Structure 1
Amino acid sequence: MYSAVADNSSESESFSELGARALVADQAKPCQCELLSVKKAARIKKYCVTRELQKRAEKICSTEIEYVFSDHFVQADAGEQILQPLHKLCLELNPGIDEESEGVAIHYAPLYSVPLLEKEQEVILFKGMNYLKYRAAVLRDTIDLKSPCVGVLDRIEQKLKDAHRLRDYIIQANLRLVVSIAKSLTDRANSFEEIVSDGQMPLIRAVEIFDIDRGNRFSTYGTWAIRNFLFRSTKKGRKYRKTFVSGVESAAMGLSDFRSTPRSHESYHRSIQKVLKQVLHTLDEREQLILKRRFGLYQSDTPEKFREIADDLGISTERVRQLTIRSLQRMRDVIEEQNLEIPEIPEII
């Protein structure tokens, strides 16, 4: 069930060589020897060789190469600046069972076969993946379908293969996001295994379209993508969606549960406040007041209960709750549009 993405241990050696291979290939000049050998072979077996090569070229030209463009890709030293760090990192990374897998059922161990990525590692892998796709797309534009160069086709296919390998590594390192979210959505109709399997689809897509140049961690964007997908596809998720409509709300609602600890009070609390302050201006005065009081942004810096806010405003507790949810729903689009980073709180997810 997880083999397509999660179990790549057999490719660990090729992964360690990926960076060096990508760097050498990027520095190579357009080849001519392969084309000559093909022409020589074509004279011996003209139809089979040339037709096979043309089919291969046509397939490459018809394949969509999707990547997230970066201004760094067109710089004169792009290959060196992007692929040198990738080369070094690929030598350091070694897919294997991570410490977090201790105590996990053996059939879930592949989900933890790659350790969590540090921010710098994440940047290198995402840039490397998209740069390889970009270079493959550039080379594809040079293909002559009437007389395709086998060397160019080889380079394109290898770049796409290496980019796919990097993508799988990033996915593997973030499968914990799917697991943590799936735990809260398991019910009679949806088993844990089914939800984890379904959650891999939005994770894969999120990796493919994430823009690392914006400066945010992938875990924030990936959590959004996975939760939104699973919340729509599971009954329990749709129920949670009515209450916890966004990552901000999930985190903010948790302040009352964790604010007594030094970590949540000093770190998480400040982080949540910072995110809310950035988008509060999109609401009217009453909605701003409710959220400020509910999440500790008003005077005392202590989150207030719905009942306390309702008594002061002269409305029902249920009405305050509804206004809170509605306000957070309106803020969610702004947060997603600005791609703000929401602090991770594993206990809430």
Structure 2
Amino acid sequence: MSQETSFSSSEIDSFSDLGNRAVHLEQRQTCQCELLAVKKAARMRKVCVTRELQTRAERLCSEEIEYVFSERFDQEDAMDQILVPLQTLCAELKPRTDDDDLSDDTGLLQTRLYAVPLLNKEQEIILFRGMNYLKYRAAMLQKQVDLKAPCIGILDRIEQKLKDARSLRDYIIQANLRLVVSIAKNLTDRANSFEDIVSDGYLPLIRAVEIFDIDRGNRFSTYGTWAVRNYLFRTTKKGRKYRKNFVNGAETLALGLSDIRSTLRSQETYHRSIEQVLEQVLCSLDQRERQILRRRFGLSPAEVPEKFREIAEDFGVSTERVRQLTIRSLQRMRDMIEEQSLEIPDISEIL
């Protein structure tokens, strides 16, 4: 059977050619499976559908492909907006090797910590969008698979898109390993070795990359640092001592509701977990304070966070006054959480 793409075996897994490969596969709208040629389709379909092929199709269709959706993905020029910039960037970036296994022993971490340079904002946007778009397209192809008569070409495209998405994810992770190392240095003691903390911090970093929504306009370093710190502060003995100074209960609540964006399922799970605590602490505030917090942090599902200036105009007060009320309200929420020993669930425990 002929290859669906024209890439050589040496190029098929090359990170530098990832963008070219993604564009090429996206441009091909039909599968070139020779066994399903028009004249022999009825007869050869029985030969093509082997048990091995069915097992492969069932395995691919049973996987839940998780991605962060963007409205850009459904636009007609999605390829030009997402894959063409990715094509250019992948040709410019030079990872240490294309065969790096990021699950290697953490003892090798220091030798490759600076192998991948830090990403600037534009590069970060291109890589995150490319990663999620490839997974989105794989999920769309997944719906086209006929388990009774699976097409080899479609299965190949799904697998290649998912493989390329993982390569992009791993590159982003390598570019942000410094986050884990810098946090781990402050938590190292006799009970927690540097290597163990780095190993533990690697897991929330992976998850943070997978659920980060680049369309929110924030840099990943902000969210990634919070996710890794929050996890390590909870799991290490020394970290628990610093936890209270890192993020108090009310700030965790506001940060979690305003900045955490992941898949719909993860959002619903997290919001259900904190809904009860949210109502309890909000009841300790007066009506104006509740309105300010809801609007400032977008606490209601249909709302988006607003600026102090926008809120001040509606309330007929100064911007500084709204800022002071916000700080006072968060302080009162924190005090109530501490007094009643309310437990604020961590997003790392939910996802």
Aligned partner of 1:236 in structure 2 is 238
* Gapped regions of structure 2 (runs ≥ 5): 1-9, 98-106, 252-307, 309-319
- CA–CA distance in 1 between the matches of 2:70 and 2:177? 26
Aligned partner of 2:166 in structure 1 is 164
Matching of residue 86 in structure 1 with residue 130 in structure 2 = no
SS of 2:113's partner is: helix
- CA–CA distance in 2 between the matches of 1:149 and 1:28? 14
Q: What letter is aligned with 2:67?
A: Y
* Gapped regions of structure 1 (runs ≥ 5): 1-9, 98-104, 250-273, 289-321, 337-349
Aligned partner of 1:215 in structure 2 is 217
TM-score normalised to the size of structure 1?
A: 0.65
Percent identity over paired residues: 67
Aligned partner of 1:116 in structure 2 is 118
The superposition leaves residues 80-128 of structure 1 with CA deviations (integer Å, 9 ceiling, x where unpaired) of 210000000001100139xxxxxxx975121221100000000000000
Aligned partner of 2:262 in structure 1 is none
Q: 1:171 to 1:106 in 2, by over 3 A?
A: closer
- Report the CA distance between 1:34 and its aligned residue: 3.8
- CA–CA distance in 1 between the matches of 2:69 and 2:45? 42
- Report the CA distance between 1:35 and its aligned residue: 4.3
Aligned partner of 2:69 in structure 1 is 69
Listed as ranges, the matches of 1:329-344 within 5 Å are none
Aligned partner of 1:341 in structure 2 is none
SS of 2:14's partner is: helix
> Does the 8 Å CA contact 1:35/1:151 hold for their aligned counterparts?
no
Aligned partner of 2:194 in structure 1 is 192
- CA–CA distance in 2 between the matches of 1:30 and 1:47? 21
The superposition leaves residues 188-231 of structure 1 with CA deviations (integer Å, 9 ceiling, x where unpaired) of 11100000011000000000000000000000000011001000
- CA–CA distance in 1 between the matches of 2:124 and 2:138? 21
- Report the CA distance between 1:33 and its aligned residue: 3.0
Q: 1:113 to 1:11 in 2, by over 3 A?
A: farther
Aligned partner of 2:278 in structure 1 is none
Q: 1:14 to 1:76 in 2, by over 3 A?
A: same
Aligned partner of 1:6 in structure 2 is none
SS of 1:14's partner is: coil
- Report the CA distance between 1:282 and its aligned residue: 3.5
Q: 1:281 aligns with which of 303, 313, 325?
A: 325
Aligned partner of 1:21 in structure 2 is 21
The superposition leaves residues 27-65 of structure 1 with CA deviations (integer Å, 9 ceiling, x where unpaired) of 11211434427x979979967961111111111100110
Q: 1:123 to 1:186 in 2, by over 3 A?
A: same
TM-score normalised to the size of structure 2?
A: 0.64
How large is the RMSD of aligned CA atoms in angstroms? 3.8
